[in-house]
Structure 1
Amino acid sequence: MKRMLVLAACASFSVAAAEPAWVATSNQYAMEVLQKIAEASPESGSELGIETYDSNASDLTLAAETKNLNSLHDEIGKLQLIATQTNDARVTQDLQIMIDALQRQLDSAKLSEQYELPFYNVAEKVFGGIQVLLDDRNSDARMQKAIARLNAYVGTDTQPGIVAQAQQRTAQALANKQLTAPYYKEVEQAIANTPQFIQGIEQLFTAHKLQGWQPAFAKLSKQLTDYQQWLKSTVLPVARQSNVMPEILYSNALKNVGVDIAPQELIQRALFEYAEIRDEMQALATDIAKAKGYKNDDYRFVIRELKKQQVTGDDVLPFFKQRLADIEKIVRDHNIVTLPQRPANIRLASPAESAAIPAAHMNPPRLVGNTGEYGEFVLPMVDPNAGGKRVTDFTSKGFSWTLTVHEARPGHELQFSNMIEQGVSMARAIFAMNSANVEGWALYAEAIMKQYLPKEGQLFSLQARQQRAARAFLDPMLNLGLISPADAKKVLTDDVVLSDAFAQQEINRYTFQMPGQATSYFYGYMNLRELRIATEIKLQDKFNQKDFHDFILKQGLLPPKLLKKAVETEFIPNVK
């Protein structure tokens, strides 16, 4: 799924049915907090759908950050007071969800200030801030605001632009030798990708035929190019050579993505599951090899042979649309979950998008004020971070089954569609969101669909699950210094059978792009799988998977513990 901002989940409240009174009350409190978040990070506000700040840009100065954190602290106090005066238990729970989310932000900011050297990939941040406005799903009026944001990024004589702000924050902190510098590969990638992001910004403005952006873009282009050279001369020489990060920072990263167990326990559970999946893959590969006449039945060989069946060029979009239609037929034929009547959106990624997110992903719709915009299943064709190589993992015909299930239906696209069409409180859709419940559902969707796929599709489904188990032990092992990046990559290329480009994406993801986040797939899936089995045991013959799945999706993006409570107190007692 798409890399998430502070609160990047979505909910739509304008296209859903009339909301209950308690939801309206909860949403009123949530909007006050969201306005504060959007004021502090206009780009996050734009992604959420709060248009008030579309013309603004983030202020990276220390004074602005201090002001924003104080504002969040005040909001926590207000919400705590309101919670003591609220009689509706559902509203009280939503208030606590918001309090917990804001407190995690404050705790993370405090740890970052104490341990980390401020470092900014400014070109990527600017590209993302412009892209969220120059999105084909937005109105023309909203797209026009991209020019104002562009000017805000450039700055004025009295207000330094974002490049100057970032450079100043890092330069001021360099004197503190106790701070952990960024990993050198992160700095190298920021330097290498700067031209790609500059070009991507220009392409966005050109494609949408806006007028008057060229002077500001020329200034910004020079600023970003100068910043690229400054990173090379000033930051890269002091960047740390080891990918290992302080354990307190890594544990906090796990907590922020919804993984609430110790890294060591996560490693233990994932290693066991990895071995179980590998055995299942081998048994299936033996059958496939026999059917196809392969002389070698090792699962690694079989996967490599199957990956040679590629879909390329102009055939990619039609192929994936047909693959989705095949999957939807399976879902309906076997009463797995309720599907929308409208088609899902699938498109190819631009080069700049691929530089920012080199993997297939779901691009969520706006979060607030949605009037019918839906998510997009986005397919990258090349990886700029791997020398422009085509990522063959995503366009393998066999892998397309589980990829489409995960990113489209019944995975992420269905998650977000349900929130848009049915509506949930903002607290449960935005503030309760973490990677464990989002990615856990998508991996669970892969698992429940596997048995209905052709054998080649089943093998790739298991490969994808094996990859998620590998993530759950390689990510913590790398960040705790228990394995080297080279050895971790060898596991991914030799045993998980990823392409070299995809394996390197994974190592980058674990070590500097999103440490800890990749573990959330396995952890969220494990919790959801356990919840289903426990529910089946309690309901016996009364259990209906379609009803269960529809209920899960109606809860929004509740984290595992709250979801478990909802199933036990609402779903199970109401089964007839």
Structure 2
Amino acid sequence: MHRTASILALALSSPALAAAAPLSASTDRAWIAASDANTRLLLEAEGQFDPETISQNGVVAFDGRASDLGPKLEARRAAALAPVRAEFARRLAATDDANVRQDLAILIGAIDQQLERDRLNRRHFLAWTDAPAAIFEGIKGLLDEQVAPARRAEAVELLRRYVGDWPGTTPLVDQARARFEETRAPGLLGPTRVTLDRALANAETYAKGIRDMFKEYKITGAERALAKLDAQIAAYTAWERATVRPLAREDFHLPAEVYAFQLKERGIDIAPDALIRQAQIEYAETRAAMIALAPRVAKEKGWSQTDYRDVIRRIKQAPVPDDQLEASYAEVIRTNESVIRREHIVDLPSRPMEMRLASAAESAASPAPHMQPPPMVGNKGEHGVFVLPVGVGGNDPKSAYDDFNSRAVQWTVAAHEGRPGHELQFSAMVERGVSQARSLYAFNSVNVEGWALYAEAEALPYHPLDGQLMALQARLLRAARAMLDPMLNLNRISLDEARRILTEEVVQSPAMARQEIERYTARAPGQAGSYFYGYTRLLQLRVETEFALGSRFDRLAFNNFVIGLGLLPPDLVAKAVREDFVPAMRGDAPAASNQIK
């Protein structure tokens, strides 16, 4: 139903949410325990079908249990969620606590979105599963350096369940095949050809990655299951080539109601045309800033080329070697942190930030830099980890990435994925305390990616000149995403023209441009615009708050307050700022000590 990195967005049109009370700034945190007790009902219901996600979120009772892809999955899930939703509605009517009511509305909205997603899937799509990727992600959730050794041992049981070597279990690949056949009907859409081909190409990498993880963490007792897994993945990919690939589609366009749902799920609550128009303005303004800055970078470097495209290409010609990347990023992270403290941008934890390079299998699953969130339930001191893929693309030079390994680009990548971006946002939820409803079920890409892009903008003025240019390039990409994703899905631009814009105007590598287009058309249609839209919503709120407070505005206090809210949609963040933060800063209301500093 959800993963922390791709969790359900909140249904902004939900009647329950519309009736929710404003966020309280009270220092009384007892309501969190009451809210978390409500959330446990939903976690337990979800755990029947997707226990790996619940385990990764920190609920150890689900360690070692495997996904259910059995017959009539959607109907069984609806039957399991219906009494939970009814109970939430009853509790919503019975409680006067504003925060608990808000969280109950969030949980009801999450259930409604899951049921709507299931309805759309049944109506439009064949139920194909990338089983090797699912198995890899499930095992990776337990075999991680931040997972306690006792929990890692449960990976053996999980693997045995995946391959059908545990009493009463059926191999996941067999369940996936049966589920596909169960949903076969004329007119239903198969996976896109590019998605299926990517899954087939990565299957062996996932299998090797699983074996490598058991070896790395010295987990014994898995050899027989690993041998079965290798054979099952080989048989599954052969079946996919014979049965699924003939039904795969070249046309990536989604049914209109599906694309509309995807946008709403990500937190984009405006029409695609409005998003495109706003992004076009940002694209032009950012490009103008790059045109002005590039000659200064060229002069500093002693280069004759002054066009921003040429300057970026020259910057990319000096990559940091893979074996020095981690140390180079660590130095950039330390410098960024010093600036954040000196300039009073936002409060930082006293502990160092964690960063590592990705394995080959992780890079295949997530080929761009990303933040691996910590468990949000029962956290024992685990922290988010900034993960940087390297060596993605194979032997073809056109498949190599040059987008994340120059020194100049590291400044903004570290600010986005680390501090003051994603890592700090998730750290704040763990360390300052926020309800599980807000950390797990109020997630939306607009909030999360909007904060990270806002964090880039907060850090940008303090980067070296070439770092500022690359930060603007990253912003240009986010504006391009907000144009190209809806334009491609609404059939208003060709794939070739979108690729040209990304490679020639935004100056992305061909590999990165290919990944971007796959994101818009196959991996996550509708999601790419969330960066720009979330950034603009937060930036507008920032300026509105500056005008409301005048000389009393405090950037540090504002940023601490926003990041202390947890993962809420923009409308609820704005409500909290207007109704809690602004009065508190004016002296009209008491400030919450854990939020306003």
TM range (shorter): over 0.9
RMSD (Å) for aligned C-alpha atoms: 1.8
What SS does the corresponding residue of 2:5 show, helix, strand or coil? Answer: coil
Indicate conservation of the 8 Å contact 2:252/2:521, yes or no: yes
Indicate yes or no: 2:333 matched with 1:324: yes
Of residues 468, 474, 479 in structure 2, which corresponds to 1:458? 468
Query: Per-residue deviation at 1:8?
Result: 10
Aligned to 1:445: 455
Identical aligned pairs, as a percentage? 43
Deviation at residue 486 of structure 1 after TM alignment: 2.3
Are 2:183 and 1:183 aligned? no
2:164 is equivalent to residue 155 of structure 1: yes
Tell me how far apart the structure 2 counterparts of residues 204 and 5 of structure 1 sit (CA, whole Å). Answer: 23
What is residue 230 of structure 1 aligned with on the other side? 239
Asked whether the 8 Å contact 1:193–1:385 carries over to 2, the reply is no
Map of 1:12 onto structure 2: none
* Contact residue 3 and residue 357 of structure 1 kept, 8 A: no
Structure 1 position 512 matched with structure 2 position 522? yes
Distance 2:101 2:9 in 1: 23
Instruction: Specify which of 365, 382, 386 is matched with residue 391 of structure 2.
Output: 382
Q: Count residues in correspondence.
A: 566
CA shift, 1:307, in A, is: 1.4
Q: What's the CA shift for 1:384?
A: 4.2
Partner of 1:311: 320
Secondary structure of the 1:399 match is helix
Partners in 2 of 1:66 and 1:162 — Cα distance?
A: 19
- Provide, for residues 457-505 of structure 1, a one-character-per-residue CA deviation record: whole Å limited to 9, x for no partner: 1111110001011111111112222222222111110000011111111
Structure 1 residue 78, shift from structure 2 partner:
1.0
Q: Letter of the 1:436 partner, please give it.
A: V
Is the CA contact (8 Å cut-off) linking 1:360 and 1:380 kept in structure 2? Answer: yes
The equivalent of 2:13 in structure 1 is none
Q: Deviation of residue 563 (structure 1)?
A: 0.3
Q: Mark the runs of 5 or more structure 2 residues left unpaired by the alignment.
A: 11-26, 587-597
2:443 — aligned with what?
Answer: 433
Mapped to 1, the partners of 2:251 and 2:469 lie a distance apart of 36
Structure 2 matches for 1:150-549, cutoff 5 A?
Answer: 150-155=159-164, 159-174=169-184, 176-384=185-393, 389-549=399-559
Q: Distance in 1 between matches of 2:257 and 2:390?
A: 37
2:14 paired residue number: none
Answer with 205-214 or 481-490: which moved more: 481-490
Contact 2:5 2:373 in 1 (8 A): no
For normalisation by structure 1, the TM-score amounts to: 0.95
Report the Cα offset of residue 38 of structure 1. 2.1
Deviation at 1:178, TM superposition (A): 1.4
- For 1:141, which of 138, 143, 150 is the aligned residue? 150
Equivalent residue number for residue 4 of structure 1:
5
Structure 1 position 309, deviation (Å): 2.2
CA gap of 1:56–1:5, structure 2 versus 1, over 3 A, is farther
- Aligned amino acid, residue 469 of structure 1: A
Which residue of 78, 81, 103 maps to 1:94? 103
Compute the displacement of 1:385 (Å): 7.2
Say if 1:5 and 1:44, in contact at 8 Å, map to a contact too: no
- The question of whether the paired residues in 2 share the 8 Å contact of 1:354 and 1:384 is answered with no
The equivalent of 2:36 in structure 1 is 27
Amino acid at match of 2:238: Q
On the 8 A contact 2:126/2:183 being kept in 1, the answer is yes
Question: Partner letter of residue 4 of structure 1?
Answer: A
Alpha-carbon distance in structure 1 between the residues aligned to 2:28 and 2:127? 42
Q: Deviations over 1:222-241 (max 9, x none)?
A: 11111101111111111111
Deviation sequence 1:63-96 (CA, Å, 0-9, x none)? 3442122212221111011100001122111111
Per-residue CA deviations over 1:506-525 (Å, capped at 9, x if unaligned) read: 11111111111111111111
- With 563-572 and 44-53 compared, the bigger mean Cα shift is at 44-53
Q: Output the CA distance in 1 between the equivalents of 2:416 and 2:574.
A: 22
- Distance in 2, matches of 1:392 and 1:155, equals 42
Partner of 1:551: 561
- Look up the match of 1:44: 53
Instruction: Name the amino acid aligned to 1:468.
Output: R
Q: Does the Cα contact within 8 Å between 1:33 and 1:75 map onto a contact in 2?
A: yes
1:377 aligned counterpart, secondary structure: strand
Kept after mapping to 2: 8 A contact 1:309/1:396: yes
Runs of 4+ in 1 over 4 A off after TM superposition: 384-390
Offset of 1:19 from its aligned partner?
7.1
Distance 1:471 1:3 in 2: 22
* In structure 1, distance between residues paired with 2:430 and 2:513: 34
Aligned mates of 2:116, 2:274 — CA distance in 1: 23
Give the structure, 1 or 2, with the largest relative contact order (CA under 8 Å, sep 6 or more).
1
**Separation in structure 2 between the aligned mates of residue 148 and residue 334 of structure 1, nearest angstrom:** 50
Distance 1:387 1:151, change over 3 A: farther
Conserved 8 A contact 1:97-1:431: yes
State the secondary structure of the residue aligned to 2:387: strand
User: Relative to structure 1, is the Cα distance of residues 224 and 142 closer, same or farther in structure 2, using a 3 angstrom cutoff?
Assistant: same
Q: Give the TM-score, by structure 2 length.
A: 0.92
Question: 1:246 deviation in Å?
Answer: 1.1
Partner of 1:74: 83
Q: 1:207 to 1:85 in 2, by over 3 A?
A: same
Q: 1:386 to 1:50 in 2, by over 3 A?
A: farther
| Aligned counterparts of 1:491 and 1:390: Cα–Cα separation in 2 | 19
Query: What SS does the aligned partner of 2:356 have?
Result: strand
Equivalent pair of 1:8/1:47 in contact (CA under 8 Å): no
Return the alpha-carbon distance in structure 2 between the equivalents of residues 123 and 483 of structure 1.
34
In 1, the alpha carbon distance for the partners of 2:226 and 2:580 equals 54
* Runs of 5+ consecutive residues of structure 1 not aligned to the other structure: 10-17
